[in-house]
Structure 1
Amino acid sequence: MEAFDPTPPAWTLGATHAFNFCCPRCRSTPMAATNVWINRRSPVYTEDRRRKWQEFYRCQCETAWWAWSDERPPAEWAKEQNCTEDDRET
């Protein structure tokens, strides 16, 4: 499976929106994902005319989650980012 394949893989169907750009179940970062798919066929445009895409991840714990590309933390903070217990999805 290629991350930019136009056809979504089956594992994306039940994905949960993660608001903190990490797995809502185990709080792993996208770097720990076993699969990635980016929905580039349906971009959303923000008020300032920027595009954002849904980025889907299947975590090593088998949880499928997604976040908007503009929710990704800046690179210099990515290693420091911690999802806390309060950040988990229910």
Structure 2
Amino acid sequence: MEAFSPTPPDWREIATHAEGFCCPNCRASSSTANAAWIDRRSPVFVENRKRKWQEFYLCQCGKAWWGWSDERTPNEFAERSTYNSEDSDLDYDSFFGYF
């Protein structure tokens, strides 16, 4: 099953909404699921025009569950800040030879 397939898997119909973004049956994380599908065709718009999607998972224990994309726990890469030129120590004039 391709996570970004336009065709939903049959098991999503029996999925239950999970609290804590993990399997409600065995508490396994989404990264250990046997299959995943993201419903990218039906986003929900929240504040500041941001979108969230339903993410469906078929756990190793056989339980199908889903959670909102904004409920997912952050990974190590989400902690990185975005580049802000005002906070940079880089002197662009010196870097590009404009003295």
What TM-score do the two structures reach when normalised by structure 2? 0.74
Q: Aligned-pair RMSD on alpha carbons?
A: 0.8
Q: Does 1:20 align with 2:20?
A: yes
Look at both structures and tell me which one has the larger radius of gyration over its CA atoms: 2
Gaps in structure 1 of 5+ consecutive residues? 77-90
Higher RCO structure, 1 or 2 (CA under 8 Å, sep 6+): 1
Residue 48 of structure 1: how far off its partner (Å): 2.1
**1:71, 1:20 → 2: CA distance?**
7
SS at match of 1:13: helix
Give structure 1 regions of 4+ aligned residues with deviation exceeding 4 angstroms: none
Deviations, residues 43-70 of structure 1 (Å, cap 9, x unaligned)? 0000221000000000000000000000
Residue aligning to 2:3: 3
**1:43, 1:74 → 2: CA distance?**
20
- Structure 1 counterpart of 2:2, which letter? E
Percent of paired sites with the same residue: 64
